[in-house]
Structure 1
Amino acid sequence: MDSANNKYLLAAAMCCFAVAFAHFGCIVFGGDWYRFFGAGEQMARMAEEGLWYPTIITAVIVLVLLVWGLYGLSGAGAIKRLPLTKLALIVITSIFLLRGVSFVGLMPMFPENSLTFWLISSGICLFIGGLFAVGTWQQWSVLGDKNA
């Protein structure tokens, strides 16, 4: 399947890159960005104090999202096939969808995050997970076992 035919994986990849960019903005611009995106006052204060924790956690999220975006492009055929593309797309889809529906159970673990944060971020995860799910389903026969 030509990459132009799988707009879902291309859109999922672009969403991953956009979300990675927003997270990177938190690292660069600090506490105000953490607050704006609803990460909690504690994360914002730690960022303002120059503590490493918010930067490390956010950098890991940025890297994961960038890799996931690359797998989306790979699955769509827009870039060279990456190792284990089929498996990666299934795992990425599952993680996004699981994160989107499990926020109620996660909320007590992060009490400083606002309800708005949880609702918006969960909606975004469900949306991106849906893009990955449909795009992966479209590509299933193209990926085949040799690329699993």
Structure 2
Amino acid sequence: MGSLNLATLALGLAAGLDALAALAHLACIALGAPAYRVMGAGERMARAAEAGQWRPTLVTLVIATGLAAMAFYAGAAAAQLPPLPLQRVLLLTFAAVLLVRALAFPWLKPMFPDNSARFWWVSSGICLVMALAHGWGAWRLG
């Protein structure tokens, strides 16, 4: 299998993970506080969702929208469609943001004390896999 095929496979994986993560975030909005708790977002977010505050919904919607955009770009690149505007730059930027998020959790954790240890380890591991898939795929597509 050539590097182009492996690159499209990596970007297809990235697109799928992005889409699943976006749907998981939307599920938190739809299901409310219990979903925020299961996802490990912290008791403060869960209680705010229970109280009907707008902040959990807005934060979660912004994250879901970013993930959906990443899924769109990675999916278009994986399908070898005509390049989207700034496709390679954005895919590499997505990879860099995800890599920083994955590796920076020890410094981020004190800022979000309600988030569970499981949340930090699982979400950081997922972000690392997503970063590698986006970055490697975009780099190999050239």
What is the TM-score of this pair, normalised by structure 1? 0.89
Structure 1 residue 21 displacement after superposition: 0.2
- Would you say the 8 A contact 2:4–2:141 is kept in 1? no
TM-score when normalising by structure 2:
0.92
Q: Cα gap change, 1:82/1:3 in structure 2, threshold over 3 Å: closer, same or farther? A: farther
Match of 2:67 in 1: 65
**Secondary structure, counterpart of 1:107 in structure 2:** helix
**What CA distance in whole angstroms lies between the structure 1 residues aligned with 2:54 and 2:112?**
18
SS at match of 2:121: helix
Contact 1:97-1:129 within 8 A present in 2 as well? yes
Q: Is the 8 A contact 1:75 1:89 kept in 2?
A: no
Q: Contact 2:41/2:114 (CA < 8 Å) preserved in 1? A: yes
Looking at structure 2, the residues matched to 2 and 42 of structure 1 have their Cα atoms a distance apart, in angstroms, of 45
Q: What are the residue-to-residue correspondences of 1:82-97 with 2, within 5 Å?
A: 82-97=84-99
Which of the numbers 39, 42, 45 marks the counterpart of 2:41?
39
Per-residue deviation, 1:76 = 2.0
Q: Residues 83-137 of structure 1: CA distance to partner in whole angstroms, max 9, x if unpaired?
A: 1001101100101111101100000111100111000000000011111122112
The 3 A distance-change label for structure 1 pair 114 and 70 is same
The answer to whether residue 38 in structure 2 is matched with residue 51 in structure 1 is: no
Over the matched positions of the two proteins, sequence identity in percent amounts to 39
Secondary structure, in 3 states, of the residue corresponding to 2:136? helix
Q: Output aligned runs, 1:130-141, within 5 Å.
A: 130-140=132-142
1:7 to 3, 6, 9: 9
The answer for unaligned runs of 5 or more in structure 2 is: none
Structure 1: state its 5+ residue gaps: 141-148
| Aligned positions, number | 140
The alignment partner of 1:6 has SS state of helix
Q: 1:33 to 1:5 in 2, by over 3 A?
A: same
What is the alpha-carbon distance in structure 2 between the residues aligned to residue 15 and residue 106 of structure 1?
Answer: 22
| 1:22-61 deviation per Cα after TM superposition (whole angstroms, max 9, x unaligned) | 0000000000000000000110011111110000000000
Instruction: Give RMSD over aligned pairs.
Output: 1.7
Aligned to 2:131: 129
Partner of residue 109, structure 1: 111
Aligned with 2:23 (options 21, 26, 43) = 21
